[in-house]
Amino acid sequence: MEIALDPELIGCVERGAVAAPSAVADALVAELSNEFGENLVGVIFYGSRLNRTAGPRSDWDFFVVVESYRVHHSWLDARLNAVLPPSVYRREVASGDGSRARCKLSLVSSADLDHYTSSSAPDSYLFGRLAKRVALVFTRDDLARRRLSEALARSVTLCAAWTLAGATQGLSVEALARESVAFSYRCEERVEGPSRARDLFDTDAAHFRDVYGRAMAAQVAAGCVQVDPDGLGRRSGSDAERRVARAAVAAFVRRSRRRARLRWLKNIWTFEGWEEYMLTKLERHQDVRIALSDRERRHPLLAAVRHYVRLRREGRLSRSGGRA
């Protein structure tokens, strides 16, 4: 996938990557800094707690960027993360009011962050999440902050490029921003309901219009996108080349969804309480309540396969993000 990165977009996402003071984020950064030391490159806050769509039982979501997996993790964990990053863990930290907050940590190396937000990214998992509103709550130094900001800008650009490549007609900046948010959901089987992408866009509409407008302009300046007299942008090339591009998008979405299913299986190994986490999301977003038997709790992999097949058959995991 060809992308053109706009230097102004890097500055735009860096300025926007801020969050209100949070006792949870501060406590987590303090723990991670003590645990990882100089191996900790940055901490990125994202998800429903940041974008104000969280329920009372929602976890706090963070990407934890490190230089090396091997410094503080077992050989097996390091290999799993290198093959299919990130590895997801849960930990509790002080929330500032005397209670404990549950945090979902996605551990990724700086090298994998660069790769999975590049034009050769094998799936959308990282760039799809980082293309939304996020906050840099910790960076090791100015160089690390610049490197993470570039990854965020590449993520927005990739979502825009894949969306434009898959479009059957020209898109306005508004339509591109909405469809780009929805694209990241279409690349995975997720439990969120069909209105999720629209709700997420509406919480930060001005931000999405700004960053995707800049991404569109960069693609136009690079000759990757052409704009018609009505101001609608579409991928450059002949009709035949556009058909090939749409086929490539469909293949990329299928591959991303396959790899997302593999990550679910990996999470059973790395994420303590993964079953309860997923059941909480199902109840919140789909109003589906599943009570695991003692046998299913002893054999979570078998339980996961059984319920996954049933939920997919019922259509609860298909294109769950809907349209924005």
- Round to whole Å and give the CA distance between 29 and 71: 18
> How would residue 85 be classed by pLDDT, with cut points 50, 70 and 90?
very high
Query: For the segment 286-296, what is each residue's pLDDT rounded down to a tens digit?
Result: 666 776 777 76
> How would residue 189 be classed by pLDDT, with cut points 50, 70 and 90?
confident
Q: Residues 37-74, buried b or exposed e (16+ Cβ, 10 A)?
A: eebbbbbbbbbbbbbeeeeeebbbbbbbbbbebbeebe
The CATH homologous superfamily of the domain defined by 7-262: Beta Polymerase, domain 2 (3.30.460.10)
> How would residue 320 be classed by pLDDT, with cut points 50, 70 and 90?
very low
Query: For the segment 233-246, what is each residue's pLDDT rounded down to a tens digit?
Result: 999 999 999 999 99
- Round to whole Å and give the CA distance between 58 and 36: 26
The proportion of the chain whose per-residue pLDDT surpasses 70, expressed as a percent, equals: 82
Query: For the segment 44-66, what is each residue's pLDDT rounded down to a tens digit?
Result: 999 989 988 887 778 899 999 99
